[in-house]
């Protein structure tokens, strides 16, 4: 049998990219082991070096195989669980320890917007009683974020420390944002490297939007009073979403990452998927009926709670009601 060397590297890459998620599903690899796959990146340099040393010899293909195998293992880890474990330490060594002065305010309008962006940090978003909001936390110098607020809007942005903000090598910012339950809010959250925990129990959510770039997120919609729209985009990350016991429509797009969905008992689900060959959808075993790219609960049209979501992965995975939950 003759093996064409031009395709050998691609073959190794694709085999390992698919083998890692299969090993995870079969229980041969743990989440901790998957997280450590990213530490193999120095092998890419080794492979390049081996290729240079063996250039114009019969073994000149070995360097390319090392690179292909390393990239395949890393890509397989990404498809399995995203890169939330990588980003925890990629943009800062420790969380800031100096508390900044808390900021408070109130919303007066019938509907208000909340726009939060954090670069390299951890943010927790919760809900409190009344129509007031609050921002507290810590960072490297106790400065706090830049906040612009009116009676109907709240905008939170990182304050640069020593001329650096994104991918900083110093400490990560840590914010706690409390939103009101008495005023309908539209939430727009952008996370660039870091972690976020969002719990919106009791909130009147007019709309929720999350852009996650190299990070991890947990979104709990269990006890929202209502939700008008839901839009999540992942660019290299992982997210767990606990869906509400109320009807909703929305979209979750994973350009590179892993999504975990947890649905309430008795809810009618309609999950629309994409057609990427490097995406996986673990929707089987939940009594859903598949029709081409749509998975639907029997009797969806008459269900008291109807959840209709576009779940599209360009390079990643979706799992419904995973054993380890969505936290």
pLDDT above 70 covers a percentage of the chain that reads 80
User: Regarding predicted confidence, which is higher, 236 or 154?
Assistant: 154
| Residue 4 confidence (pLDDT) above 60 | no
pLDDT-derived band at 224 (thresholds 50, 70, 90) equals very high
Q: What pLDDT does residue 7 have?
A: 57
Distance CA 4, CA 178 (A): 59
Nearest to 115 by CA among 74, 157, 150: 157
Q: What pLDDT does residue 101 have?
A: 96
Task: Determine contact, residues 63/43, Cβ cutoff 8 Å.
Answer: no
pTM score, whole prediction: 0.75
pLDDT in tens, 11-47: 777 777 778 777 776 677 766 566 666 666 677 777 7
In the chain, how many H helices and how many E strands?
A: 5, 17
- Dmax over CA atoms of the chain, in Å, equals 76
Average pLDDT of every residue of the chain? 83
Nearest to 77 by CA among 142, 10, 30: 30
pLDDT in tens, 70-122: 777 777 776 665 544 444 444 555 666 799 999 999 998 778 999 999 988 89
Q: What pLDDT does residue 29 have?
A: 73
């Amino acid at each position: 049998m003759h093996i064409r060397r031009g395709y050998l590297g691609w073959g190794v890459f694709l085999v390992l990219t698919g083998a890692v998620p299969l090993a995870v599903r079969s229980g041969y690899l743990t989440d901790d082991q998957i997280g450590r796959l990213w530490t193999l990146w120095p092998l890419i340099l080794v492979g390049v070096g081996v290729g240079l040393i063996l250039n114009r010899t019969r073994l000149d293909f070995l360097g390319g195989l090392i690179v292909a195998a390393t990239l395949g293992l890393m890509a397989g880890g990404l498809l399995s669980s995203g890169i939330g474990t990588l980003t925890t330490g990629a943009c800062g060594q420790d969380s800031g320890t100096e508390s900044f002065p808390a900021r408070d305010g109130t919303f007066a309008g019938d509907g208000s917007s909340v726009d939060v962006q954090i670069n390299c940090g951890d943010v927790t978003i919760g809900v409190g009683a009344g129509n007031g909001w609050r921002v507290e936390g810590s960072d490297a110098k106790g400065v706090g974020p830049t906040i612009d607020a009116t009676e109907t809007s709240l905008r939170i942005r990182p304050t640069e420390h020593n001329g650096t903000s994104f991918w900083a090598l110093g400490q990560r910012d840590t914010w706690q944002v409390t939103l009101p339950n008495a005023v309908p809010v539209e939430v727009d959250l952008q996370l660039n490297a870091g972690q976020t925990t969002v719990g919106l129990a009791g909130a009147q959510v007019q709309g929720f939007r999350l852009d996650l770039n190299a990070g991890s997120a947990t979104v709990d919609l269990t006890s929202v009073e209502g939700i008008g729209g839901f839009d999540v985009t992942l660019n290299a990350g992982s997210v767990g979403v606990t869906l509400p016991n109320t009807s909703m429509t929305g979209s979750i797009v994973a350009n590179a990452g892993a999504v975990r969905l947890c649905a309430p008992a008795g809810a009618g689900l309609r999950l629309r998927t994409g057609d990427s060959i490097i995406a996986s959808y673990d929707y089987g075993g939940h009594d859903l009926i598949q029709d081409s790219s749509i998975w639907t609960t029997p009797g969806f049209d008459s269900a008291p709670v109807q959840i209709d979501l576009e779940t599209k992965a360009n390079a990643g995975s979706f799992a419904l009601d995973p054993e380890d939950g969505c936290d």
